[in-house]
Amino acid sequence: MESAAQVRDVDALYELIRHDRYFLDNFDEKPFVDTPLHAAARDGNVEWSMEIIRLKPSFARKLNQDGFSPVQLALQNDQTQLVLQLIDIDPDLVRVQGREGITPLHFVSEKGDIHLLREFLSACPKSLEDVTNKGETALHIALKNDKVESFHQALTTVRPPWLGPEEAQQYNQRILNLKDRDGNTLLHIATSKSQVQIVRCLLNCKVDTNARNSEGLTPLDISLLDKTKSENQEIAAMLREAGALEATSLPITDKDRHLSRSKDQRLNEAAQAGNVDALYELIWEDAYLLDQIDQVPFVDTPLHIAASMGHINFALEIMRLKPSFARKQNQYGFTPLHLALQKQNQYVLSGEDLLQKKQTQMVLRLIDVDRNLVRVQGREGVTPLHYVAEKGNVDLLCKLLAACPESITEVTIRKETALHVAAKNDQLEAVECTLVWLRYVDMEDILNWTDDEGNTLLHITISKSQIKA
C-alpha cells in the first residue's frame, strides 16, 4: 500500500484500478494512512490530485500517521497552487483539524501568510471559530506568534456577511472574547506581548476588559506585572481609560458565585435537570470538560445521571458528544443503561406507570443509538440483558434480544447466560420467552451451556422444581 501511494501518473492509477477495483477503498478503510492524495499534495501535483479527489473525496479529510491532512502537507511544502485548488473544490477543508486540533487556517495564521489567510477566510469565514486542542482560534495564534498583519487580516473577517447588524455585533463579541485553554482572551495575550496597537484595536472593538484568566488575572493585572516597560505603562493607561480593573477590585457578582461552584457540580446539576443549555454553557467555558471526565476509569458521567433521571434529550445529546460515556462504568460498576433499567424496575415495583414508561423509553432510545449496549458487562459481568432476565421483565427482554441477538451469548463471572439467571430467579415467563426466541433464531445449543458449577438450564429447572419450564 505504501508503494501504491507513491503512484504519480493518472494512467498508472487507472491501471491499478483495473487490476483491483477496490484499490482506493483499501486506503479508506485505514483510520490513519498516507493516501495517494497525501503524496500528490507533498509534490504539488495538481492534475494527479484533482483526479484522486474526484474519485475519492474522502481522502481530502483523511489524516496520515503523523496527523496531517493533504492540505496541511501541501502547506508545509509551499504548494500554494494546489492548496488553492483543493480549497476551491471544498472550502470546508480549511476547517479540517489535524494534529493537536490545528487546521490549515491556524497554520497560515501562525506563519503569517497574509495571501492564504485572506483566501481561506474568504472561502470559509466560519473557520475563524475553530479552535486547537489548546482552545486557540486563528486570532489567538496570530498574536502569540507576533503576526500582527495576520491578526488584522483575520479581524476584518469578524463581520459575518450572513448575519444582520445586531447578530453580527453579538458574533463579533463572542469571537473576540473567546478564551484559550489557559483562560486568556485576545486582550490578555496582546497585553502580555506588549502589543500596544493590538490592544488599542481590541478596545475599539469593545471587548471585555475585565475578563479573568485561569490564574485569576485581568488584562490590567498583566500590564502591571512589569511596570518598567513603557509599552506596558501605555497599555495600562488605555485599559484604565476603557474601564479595566484589577481582579482584586472587581465586585463579586451572582455570576462569580455561580462560577465558584465546581464545574463538575454544575455539570451534575445540569444532568439532573436535563438542562442542555447549561451543558453547552459549561462546554463553552471549558471545551475539555467531557474529555476530563472520560479520563477517569470509573465515574458517574452526565449520561449516567441523565439516564437515571429519565432526561432523554439530555442523554442523547451527551451520547452524541461523547459516545464512550455509554459504555463507561461508575464507581459501583454500572453503565448508564444499567442505571436506566434499575430506575425503570423501581417504578414498576412502586406502581408509578408514567415514570415507568418514561424510563422504558429511555432504555429503548439508548439501545436504538447503540444496540451493542445490551451486551456491555457491568458489575460481576452482568449485562443489561442479564438484568431484565433476573427481574422477569418479559417485554423488555424481548426488545433487548431483538435489538442485539448476540447478547444472549454473554455470560456473567459465574458463566451464567440470561437463561441461567432467569431460571435461578424463578422468572419462568422470561425463560419461556427466551426459549421460544432461541428456537426461532436457531441457537438452541446455548441450552447446553453450563455455569461455573457445571449446571445447564435443565439442571437448574429440575433443582428448583420448575416443571413448566
- The residue among 202, 222, 247 that closes a domain is 202
- The b-or-e profile of 394-432 (16+ CB within 10 A means b, else e) is bebbbbbbebbbebbebbbeeebbbbbbbbbeebbebbe
Q: For cell 433487548, name the residue.
A: 400
Q: What is the pLDDT of residue 260?
A: 45
> Same domain for 303 and 390?
yes
Between residues 250 and 237, the one the model is more confident about: 237
> Same domain for 187 and 286?
no
One-letter identity of residue 7: V
What's the domain range around 74?
A: 4-202
423 lies in a domain?
yes
> Same domain for 278 and 138?
no
Model pLDDT for residues 239-273, shown as the tens digit of each residue: 999 999 998 888 765 555 454 457 888 899 999 99
Model pLDDT for residues 25-75, shown as the tens digit of each residue: 888 888 888 999 999 999 998 988 999 999 999 999 999 999 999 999 999
> Same domain for 431 and 308?
yes
CATH number of the CATH domain containing 72: 1.25.40.20
380 lies in a domain?
yes
> Same domain for 139 and 31?
yes
- The residue among 169, 186, 202 that closes a domain is 202
146 lies in a domain?
yes
Mean pLDDT of the chain: 89
Query: Over 70: is that where the pLDDT of 377 sits?
Result: yes
> Same domain for 299 and 195?
no
pLDDT category at 3 given cuts 50, 70, 90 is very low
| Mean pLDDT of all residues in 162-181 | 79
How many other C-beta atoms can be found within 10 angstroms of the C-beta atom of residue 174?
12
154 lies in a domain?
yes
For 442, the 3-state DSSP assignment is coil
283 lies in a domain?
yes
Contact criterion met (CB below 8 Å) for 138 and 128:
yes
> Same domain for 164 and 304?
no
126 lies in a domain?
yes
- Strands (E) across 318-413 are located at none
215 lies in a domain?
no
> Same domain for 142 and 276?
no
> Same domain for 272 and 412?
yes
**Among 235, 201, 204, 233, which Cα is nearest to 219's?**
235
**Among 410, 411, 389, which Cα is nearest to 398's?**
389
Contact criterion met (CB below 8 Å) for 161 and 131:
no
Contact criterion met (CB below 8 Å) for 69 and 34:
no
Between residues 341 and 295, the one the model is more confident about: 341
Gap between the Cα atoms of 2 and 5, Å rounded: 5
Model pLDDT for residues 421-458, shown as the tens digit of each residue: 999 999 999 999 999 999 988 999 999 999 999 999 99
> Same domain for 165 and 275?
no
Query: Over 50: is that where the pLDDT of 5 sits?
Result: no
Range name among 214-223, 251-260, 343-352 with the lowest pLDDT average: 251-260
Give the total number of structural domains in the chain.
2
Longest dimension (CA), the chain: 94
Q: Is the whole-model pTM more than 0.85?
A: no
Gap between the Cα atoms of 230 and 384, Å rounded: 67
> Same domain for 169 and 284?
no
226 lies in a domain?
no
- The residue among 152, 169, 202 that closes a domain is 202
> Same domain for 22 and 165?
yes
User: What cell numbers appear for 99 in the block?
Assistant: 494534529
**Among 398, 382, 389, 372, which Cα is nearest to 423's?**
389
